């Protein structure tokens, strides 16, 4: 039986909306990104360097190790990032996110196993990218 025209139209409209907005609920992605940022901050607060490194994106981890000359769990704790506080704002676009906390701003990227911290300890600069203490190369 041929598909009714309204169903074809509805399918096309849904595909167009998905194309514009990206797959998945935006709220779900915002929540997942802020949870990943808070998990990173909690690992720093409790001095769990291994967990903090696990929350970093591979490129950021590599750069941290390269620039400090120490192993990642020690290097990430030595950065002495500001205490995070509560989540103030989360922006998610595609597979990139910015999470603004009371005491810090983090940038994250989506990976198959969840959101990872790309940059932390970030301070805004007018008309320029954020100045970040920890970031990829």
Partner 1 sequence: MSNRRGFLRDNSLGLFFLAAFLLALAGQALAGRTEYNNQLEAEQLEPVGFWTYVSSSDFGVDVMENWQSEYLQFFLYIFLTVWLVQRGSPESKSPGREGRESDEEQYAGEHAAADSPRWASAGGTRQWVFSRSLGLVMGTIFVLSWLAQSLAGAAAHNERRLQQLQAPLSWGQYLTSADFWSRTLQNWQSELLAIASMAVLSVYLRQRGSPESKPIGSAHASTGVEG
- Per-residue binding letters, 19-58, with partner 1 (x by CB under 8 A): xxxxx---------------------------------xx
3-state secondary structure of 69: coil
Q: Cα-atom radius of gyration of the chain, to the nearest Å?
A: 19
**Window contacting partner 1 (CB under 8 A); options: 41-49, 65-73, 74-82, 103-111:** 103-111
Closer to partner 1 by CB, 47 or 114: give it: 114
Contact predicate 51/81, CB 8 Å: no
Contact predicate 84/93, CB 8 Å: no
Residue 108 backbone dihedrals phi, psi, to 5 degrees: -130, 160
Binding site for partner 1 (CB under 8 A): 16, 18-23, 57-59, 62, 91, 93-98, 107, 109-112, 118-119, 122, 124, 128-130, 132, 135-137
């Amino acid at each position: 039986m041929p598909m009714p025209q309204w169903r074809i139209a509805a399918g096309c409209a849904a595909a167009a909306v998905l194309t514009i907005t990206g797959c998945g609920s935006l709220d779900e992605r915002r929540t997942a990104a802020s949870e990943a940022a808070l998990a990173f901050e909690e690992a720093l607060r409790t001095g769990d360097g291994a967990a903090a490194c696990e929350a970093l994106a591979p490129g950021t981890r590599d750069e941290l190790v390269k620039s400090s000359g120490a192993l990642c769990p020690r290097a990430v704790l030595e950065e002495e990032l500001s205490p995070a506080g509560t989540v103030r704002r989360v922006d998610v676009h595609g597979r990139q996110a910015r999470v603004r906390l009371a005491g810090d701003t983090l940038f994250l990227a989506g990976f198959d196993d969840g959101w990872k911290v790309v940059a932390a300890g970030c301070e805004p600069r007018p008309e320029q990218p954020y100045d970040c203490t920890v970031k990829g190369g």
